[in-house]
Structure 1
């Protein structure tokens, strides 16, 4: 079967017709190739067809082909699509894998051979889970509490360090605002190696570093994988990190049959050490490599493609491309600009109520926090929706817990337990010793009356406590929106939040965004209970809609 018959047969049996650029990539005779695929250019179709070509035209054993991609979802999609289209030609399963999964296999096989026990701590619960270990080490080393936001930032920092292969001595030089990052990083690495003699603890990032180390230090293992997978294809290659790139280069060094698919314009994971420079330097690393650019878009209208093509030229570190489509023209792109967030939400709801848009509309948002107000409005307008890949812990955020505790305390200023959670978060003039004193007092009396009755208390401080009692009584009479503003500005919660954020190196932008979101949700509500119930309901709705 020659190439012409291959593509004719493919078209007849699958209905898939390839353009000339796609055919050129699929029928590449061998050696390193970089396929730059602009959005909607059919990269997954081409990558799968390339695998089929290797098997049917070049006689490659399917067991010698390794297809790697960035995410588990992408690997599954490639597998499903290959079997749907080409399962009639190939009965053996192709190895579609994430890079992490491939590296985990290297580590697991090697450790079993060397009789080394290990435990994966990413999905473990309890004291040996990754989050629990990081939280404990952070608080031991810094003597400060690790919030959920800071925990995520710390985990991302460690991921960045390991994926970028940054030496420990240079950790303090990277632009990441985590207190004592090098100290905590070294403690974390030491803990995983030594906490349980004879049973090493590893996380997802260790799969990469350990696999790279094994391939580097054991030529026999490296040769085994080089011979097992002389043909390697990588998808979403703009998202691979420095260490992932090194692993791929090691495995393909013997055969040099590397088929790289990606788009330098679509790299969005720089915070995780994604390295699109690898694509830009591909010919430097592989002097004899071919570079093919697929620029035809099959997905979108000319109006969308033209605007996208002009927009992306703002990226100066890139391969020059010119996207086009032969799809029929459709509606023009409309851009609406608003002064305030609520105007934007009002417009979106109004548009979605047009029946023809229901079930045909996707809404992209800047970050997960931005989705909360949108979901609140969609539910309020009784518009059906579902949320994709939402993993944000908004409803468990400590800022929300603080606000709800302020409101709860305003109902009963006798509750020392609630006061203990917030006394340091407003101008309370209350010390730790006084909290301990209140715990031993009669709980039928206002805590402020107990404090005002303390012996040898200065008159001005007694006056302070009487004023606080008045303020919390006033807070109890307010609707949720006014109460939120009163807590922020009159009780000076926001000022304390700024001080706390500065001390721990937290982003005040995130905390401020949460407060604004809470105010938006509180609009039109009458009681604090209504507000608390609304938050609980939205949390449940998010879980059900994900």
Structure 2
């Protein structure tokens, strides 16, 4: 393995480095009169040119198309915002449209504000006219509509408050901590944006019925207390337009021209609102890129772009295919990554800029090696004066993948900004109980570590801690958790669970940290996370499993629980100090974010990390046809195909964020398991992946055409849990994980032993039990 950067991905020996065609210079739109608008048209483009704005022919065509439906396919970095802004000015200046008759909808307040500012800065557009244009987010527009009709309900949009309320309702229904609140809200939202309600939720299983009961109670509570959340803003506006034809008619007369930015992110509910207002004129311009549809979990649908002409047979289609952002090699790589998707509109981007820099690829041994190499490179570039910290962004598929890089940045005191929740892996609600069990193994009187342990025993925190403290005050114990055995109201099986847990905690002390995490997971924690029917496979469950795997990987670097916990505490303190000076502006700081967060942004230099099978594409996509929470209405083959294509779109979005330099890293071992280079990179160089599609799907849980397997938290871990999970070699390849081990140094001996205890890790020497030769410390791949 190597941590050097190469010009091709690991394993690619042949094949040309992809490069995009460079758009011919002088391809900008000449300022000649256009169509029947004559000199007014030409004068407008001359004014744009005088203010420094020159549009290419495709952009100008989109600007000039003002009547009827228009689909503008805007490839990455192709100047869609300039096109939208200039078209708005064209409507005002050339077509004489009333500013109040233009409705421009987008998805973020920042984008809407930028639109308004740039429109106001156009030549010939005064501030008063620009101020009358409705440039809003979907939610802002729908909220404006509701308030204009006398709605007085409170907006209940704070996520933390929503979670607290759902937890309270679950306690009232005797379902305390049964389901993560974020899961419940995501489920409810997926139904609402698809024009359904909580009443339409399934009720086939006990799990279905419990979740439906909670969410119906949540909906009733909001109604009783006069509150609505952000999804209700959309559903309320939609219902209002359906119920009030006279109101809809007024809006139709007012808004003669509609423009939708980031159309690929539109969900069914938003699209229905737009279609209602646009009819019957249908002067509707939508701007988007089906290759950047990456929010299906929020209801976004690429078919809205793919099937636009079916709804609007008169629609014109304009493709913006010149990338003004990136050098040819980055544009070319993006083209080669995305062209393998079948469900897309065919387009190949050209590059407007020159540049000889090529994307660089790395095959580190692990995520920690990856992080060290990346941060070393950033430091060298900054020290040499070639880059600033703010030039760099680190992108990754899922939030837990930033653990190693974030640790390196914190340890080395390098300025950075985490665009996630700002928390380390060790602060996550899922991880904290595991760490606290380890803390109790070292100090059984650590009262701060006890509260997170109690829910895993199905004991309420407040009630359990009050009993422990009160009882221990009268009869102190070396391990105060033992007082739970006298907690009133417990059944015998609960008492057995407490005794077993006390034994688990005692058994951890002599283990190395990675083995301790494994022991906790095997003994009870994995089963607790997916207890009973709650174990139905969902992408959320896959994310939780991924976090625990990452914790094991992190712990594997340390030889004792004491040293591991000391490291964790130091990281928590450092991160807390860093968080105290955080702001939302990047400034001169390295940016860390998921690929989803990065859409719409650009950076001089981008690191795409974790570009390996199982991470990108993600395991949740490779096993999509056995996941319960894939997109509403999709199952089996459709779910798998769509999930895999969305993963490829994520890779495309990540690649096209880079302007000058792109670095792609594919660790050979991800979370203790061997991982091949991402198929998306190999296919971009014309190389087929080694594993067959059927084998990969079997490995990650896909069952061709079959129903979900509700008892499987992760087939690859079935043996570890001590449960039946029979999977023959014919059904799936054996997966392995890397573990610390003593390896015989004799060339003729194959003996090795796994390191499980601190005393083995601390030992300097060990004779081979077979041949007596010295053994060395290393790692060994073993079946999971």
Question: Do the aligned partners of residues 366 and 178 (structure 1) sit closer, same or farther apart at CA in structure 2, a change above 3 Å counting?
Answer: farther
**Equivalent of 1:514, from 544, 547, 563?**
547
| Counterpart check, 1:446 vs 2:450 | no
> Unaligned stretches of 5+ in structure 1?
427-431
Question: Displacement of 1:537 after TM fit?
Answer: 2.3
Q: Distance in 1 between matches of 2:414 and 2:286?
A: 42
Answering whether residue 405 of structure 2 is matched by residue 378 of structure 1, we say: no
- The structure richer in helix per residue is 1
* 1:323 paired to 2:349: yes
Shift of 1:182: 2.6
2:514 aligned with 1:497, yes or no? no
Residue among 146, 155, 162 paired with 1:130: 162
Distance 2:574 2:500 in 1: 38
- Residue number in structure 1 paired with 2:46: 8
What SS is found at the alignment partner of 1:321?
coil
Q: Tell me, in whole angstroms, the C-alpha distance in 2 between the residues paired with 1:56 and 1:31.
A: 19
Aligned residue in 2 for 1:163? 193
C-alpha contact 2:189 2:231 (8 A) present in aligned 1: yes
Q: 1:34 aligns with which of 51, 57, 71?
A: 71
Matching residue within 385, 390, 399 for 1:368: 399
Q: Does the aligned pair in 1 maintain the 2:266–2:301 contact within 8 Å? A: yes
Q: Structure 2 length normalisation: TM-score?
A: 0.60
Q: Which moved more, 1:443-452 or 1:339-348?
A: 443-452
Q: 2:141 aligns with which of 84, 99, 102?
A: 102
Among residues 400, 404, 413, which one is paired with 2:444 in the alignment? 413
Following superposition, the deviation at residue 184 of structure 1 comes to: 2.6
Q: Is the 8 A contact 1:33 1:259 kept in 2?
A: yes
CA contact (8 A) 1:404 1:532 kept: no
Report the equivalent of 1:254.
Answer: 280
Residue 231 (1) aligns with residue 267 (2): no
Residue by residue, what CA displacement relative to the aligned partner does 1:64-116 show, whole Å, maximum 9, x if unpaired? 11110012222122223333445755542132100011001111111x1xxx5
- SS at 1:335's partner residue? strand
State the Cα distance separating 1:517 from its structure 2 match. Answer: 4.3
Aligned residues: 516
Unaligned runs of 5+ in 2: 1-38, 458-462, 487-491, 585-784
Tell me the CA shift for residue 201 of structure 1. 1.5
Residue in 2 that maps onto 1:180: 210
The Cα offsets for residues 116-166 of structure 1, whole Å up to 9 and x where unpaired, read as: 5411111397xxx4323322233444623156xx21121111111100113
Choose 58-67 or 206-215, whichever is displaced more. 58-67
CA contact (8 A) 1:265 1:318 kept: yes
Answer yes or no: is the 8 Å Cα contact 1:498–1:508 preserved in 2.
no
Q: Equivalent residues in 2 for 1:529-544 (5 A)?
A: 529-542=566-579, 544=581
The CA distance in 1 between the partners of 2:424 and 2:248, in whole Å, is 41
Q: Distance in 2 between matches of 1:311 and 1:124?
A: 36
Deviation at 1:347, TM superposition (A): 1.7
Is 1:288 matched up with 2:314? yes
Conserved 8 A contact 1:296-1:323: yes
Q: CA offsets per residue over residues 521-543 of structure 1, 9 Å max, x none?
A: 66568374553242232244246
Residue 487 of structure 1 pairs with residue 519 of structure 2: no
In structure 1, the residue matched to 2:91 is 54
Distance 1:54 1:465 in 2: 71
Q: Tell me the distance in 2 between the aligned counterparts of 1:51 and 1:184.
A: 46
Q: Distance in 1 between matches of 2:364 and 2:208?
A: 35
Higher strand fraction: Structure 1 or Structure 2?
A: 2
Residues 500, 87 of structure 1: CA spacing in aligned structure 2 closer, same or farther, 3 A cutoff? farther
Counterparts of 1:434 and 1:81, CA distance in 2:
58
Equivalent residue, structure 2, for 1:302: 328
Structure 1 length as normaliser, TM-score?
A: 0.84
Work out the CA distance in 2 between the residues paired with 1:450 and 1:31.
Answer: 74
| Alpha-carbon displacement from aligned partner over 1:157-198 (angstroms, at most 9, x marks no partner) | 1111100113556422899x87733333322222222x23xx
The answer to whether the 8 A contact 2:263-2:288 is kept is: yes
Structure 1 CA distance for aligned equivalents of residues 282 and 454 of structure 2: 64
Describe the shift of the 1:15–1:411 C-alpha distance in structure 2 as closer, same or farther (beyond 3 A).
Answer: same
- Kindly state the Cα deviation for residue 489 of structure 1 after the two structures are TM-superposed: 3.5
Between 101-110 and 355-364, the greater mean CA deviation after superposition: 355-364
Give 1:462 deviation, angstroms: 13
Residues 519 and 80 of structure 1: is their aligned pair in 2 closer, same or farther, counting only changes over 3 Å?
A: farther
Checking the alignment, whether the CA contact within 8 Å between 1:448 and 1:466 is kept in structure 2 is no
CA 1:87–1:275 in structure 2 vs 1: closer, same or farther (change >3 Å)?
farther
Alpha-carbon spacing, 1:380–1:84, altered in 2? closer, same or farther (3 Å): farther
> C-alpha offsets along residues 263-291 of structure 1, whole Å, 9 cap, x if unaligned?
11111110010122111221111111111
- Return 32-41 or 433-442, whichever deviates more: 433-442
8 Å Cα contact 1:376-1:521 kept in structure 2 = no
Does 1:202 pair with 2:228? yes
